[in-house]
Structure 1
């Protein structure tokens, strides 16, 4: 939950905060989302930005990233967009594909409740950092090729995803695993192994199914990708690969190399990168 001081000092005046909305109950667990709604005197339906938090699929929450990326959150609200931060089951609670299903269930929930919250879910942009960038990219690419494996109920409309903003997310889990050198497949404790429930190189079928690059098609939405050239946790080759796959399929994509940035570096908060993100989002929703 966001604290009142953050809402009053970091967000535009008049922002409405609707916290802890339950969008799903599973295994006795309530999954929730937070909505930030800009001042909307005309009562028009608002294009929607959906944020998926990072944390190696094993930690983090729906409020943490908003504190970190407060400038970007604020500027998206200033664009007249609703901002929604969702939670999903972490790898200690469920393994692939369940966390992906949690995210798509949140998207379906928002679409079903678009009138209640005043959302235009046919103008949706998904954003995420690290593991959240992976989930955003996976959803953005898979839904456009009929990725029913990641949808609980195919009869429930999802709205329309116009674009994805991916901050240094993994895109190929087998390639990600290869950076580790010697691996104990039976006792693999890497974040990607915990997410999959198996070492990627022991279950390459699962790793492939969980990798956004394998769903890229000519129908994928436009992407804006940020990655640091000093990232050792998720090497920049992950984003280079995704960007190349998008381009070869004729999809609008831009990869921004953030010089001197490590994984999760504060450099990503700089105004120049916020400007790029806002320009990209603005081009999609207007």
Structure 2
């Protein structure tokens, strides 16, 4: 099942290989953990517009958490749209569920964010704003990064996870992000069977926690971005095709409802006939993504004052920098 799912995902996202912009300035295979492991590498791409620094968007691939070296697929999916909108693109690898049990995957994402922030001047990055996006399992990790700003560890009943982690040399830096675009990410892994309950058998969710989701509900809750939502989190754009047969559309309905209740949902785009990539990825939704990031970056630039910014409902909130 694992091999079939990865093959299907790669077939979908290889359709977008032509979107890569070859003429951008780039640094490839930078190791953000200091351990020379391929799964801890990232790539940085800059637009060729002559600016001294660019606001970055971190992009995360989908693989059902099975992949540890698919960063190029994330860049091929989003790269051109984001570069042409003036953003730096940071495509990252992370450990797979075969490499390490959760929360290793979100630990890696946060380590990559800290690396970008710590090395911003070296790579012409303006880290006053950091956006993040991902599709499928990458959407889950991007969403989790957004709702765990300021969270170091978290406990549900008797189960505690270290969300921040201690990966890399830059643990004193913030791993917070300023805006999130979630493309059809799985959110509540206890409800992946059309949001009625967990899938049975050898599911990607079971591999992620190395246990049956139905028997490990506390740990599953700790994988759920909704668990951590509060009003200080960044704004979100959520995009999901209504014909997705891999991640149920209702997953994004649940997430959008929870975000909206806290005033954090900019928009939930339900794409008619959108599948798990095909149709959902299109010029219109890519523009929705870039417009959202441009608006949030402008908001950060214009209104950030002494570590404060203004949320969508015009309430002052504290942001980590």
After TM superposition, the score normalised by the length of structure 2 is 0.78
Show the 5 A alignment for 1:207-246.
207-246=220-259
Pair 1:274-2:282 in alignment: no
- In the alignment, structure 2 segments of 5+ residues that lack a partner are 1-17, 155-161, 299-321
Change (3 A) 1:216 1:281: same
Aligned to 2:173: 157
- In the alignment, structure 1 segments of 5+ residues that lack a partner are 1-8
Change (3 A) 1:260 1:30: closer
Distance 1:159 1:137 in 2: 13
After TM superposition, the score normalised by the length of structure 1 is 0.86
Show the 5 A alignment for 1:118-267.
118-145=124-151, 149-153=162-166, 155-158=171-174, 160-176=176-192, 183=200, 188-264=201-277, 266-267=278-279
Distance 2:234 2:218 in 1: 25
User: Do the aligned residues in 2 keep the contact of 1:229 with 1:261 (CA within 8 Å)?
Assistant: yes
Larger mean CA deviation between 32-41 and 11-20 belongs to: 11-20
Show the 5 A alignment for 1:7-22.
10-12=19-21, 14-22=23-31
Distance 1:240 1:182 in 2: 18
| TM-aligned CA deviation for residue 198 of structure 1 | 1.1
Higher helix proportion (structure 1 or 2) = 1
User: Do the aligned residues in 1 keep the contact of 2:24 with 2:48 (CA within 8 Å)?
Assistant: yes
Aligned to 1:48: 56
User: Do the aligned residues in 2 keep the contact of 1:145 with 1:217 (CA within 8 Å)?
Assistant: no
RMSD (Å) for aligned C-alpha atoms: 2.4
Pair 1:62-2:71 in alignment: yes
DSSP 3-state at the match of 2:71: coil
Change (3 A) 1:182 1:46: closer
DSSP 3-state at the match of 2:192: helix
Distance 1:92 1:33 in 2: 20
2:85 to 75, 79, 82: 79
DSSP 3-state at the match of 1:50: strand
Pair 1:101-2:107 in alignment: yes
Distance 1:247 1:28 in 2: 39
Corresponding residue pairs, total: 270
Larger mean CA deviation between 214-223 and 21-30 belongs to: 21-30
Q: Which runs of 4+ in 1 moved over 4 A?
A: 9-14, 25-30, 144-148, 177-182
| TM-aligned CA deviation for residue 268 of structure 1 | 2.4
Pair 1:114-2:120 in alignment: yes
Q: Deviations over 1:170-194 (max 9, x none)?
A: 11111125657773xxxx4200110
User: Do the aligned residues in 2 keep the contact of 1:38 with 1:78 (CA within 8 Å)?
Assistant: yes
